[in-house]
Amino acid sequence: MNLNDLNALRPDLAFIADWVRERAHVLDVGCGDGAMLRYLELGKGCTGYGVEIADDKVLESTQRGISVIQHDMEEGLDLFRDNAFDMVLCLSSLQMMQHVEARLRDIVRVGQEAIVSFPNFAYWPHRVALIRGRMPVSRSLPYQWFDTPNVRYATIHDFKDLAEKCGLEVLEYVALAEGKVVTFLPNLRGSLAVFRLRKRVGVTD
């Protein structure tokens, strides 16, 4: 798994990988098929674990050679101590959780930094679908309303507010469209939001 392979598979992951420093100790929450963590191990010398609940994805991660723990993130991350990882990744999975605020606090507790991505519900095709009286279906939201695993929807502005409420510092954030950064009207033109966060200095749970 090299950067070109990752970019062909998921351009957003190829962009996000650049935010992870070399030889970092990483936890990938909702690691899916393990492609991201495999690239970080091979391409950047990182170490770490994946956390995944789906049987088929755990199998795929294992077949890639990833150390993966089958665990329901809704139960929290009590199996890891505070600041156990340099970086925690939660990529396109936070919106699938019932208790987003609690899980976000958990992520920044076990990691010195965190990268969170999620579909931006304010993306203009999503708005158009709602104006037409339909729930949005897009590359970042590829499910019909009746079979989606997503239980929470947010915009870039919504997530910034939640980060502030949780006492988090937003180190940087971008909106992506087809894996490329959107700088003009990002909350309207970006289909995926990506935030790099850490607990604000002096803030305790």
**Can you give the pTM of this predicted structure?**
0.93
Task: Give SS3 for 199.
Answer: strand
2, 29 contact by CB (below 8 A): no
* Six-digit token string for 89: 């990744």
Q: At what angle do helices 100-110 and 156-165 cross, to 10 degrees?
A: 60
Burial tier of 147 (Cβ tally within 10 Å: 0-12, 13-18, 19+): exposed
Digit-by-digit pLDDT tens for the chain (205 residues) are 778 888 888 889 999 999 999 999 999 999 999 999 999 999 999 999 999 999 999 999 999 999 999 999 999 999 999 999 999 999 999 999 999 999 999 999 999 999 999 999 999 999 999 999 999 999 899 999 999 999 999 999 999 999 999 999 999 999 999 889 999 999 999 999 999 999 987 655 5
The closest alpha carbon to 39, from 93, 48, 112, 55, belongs to 48
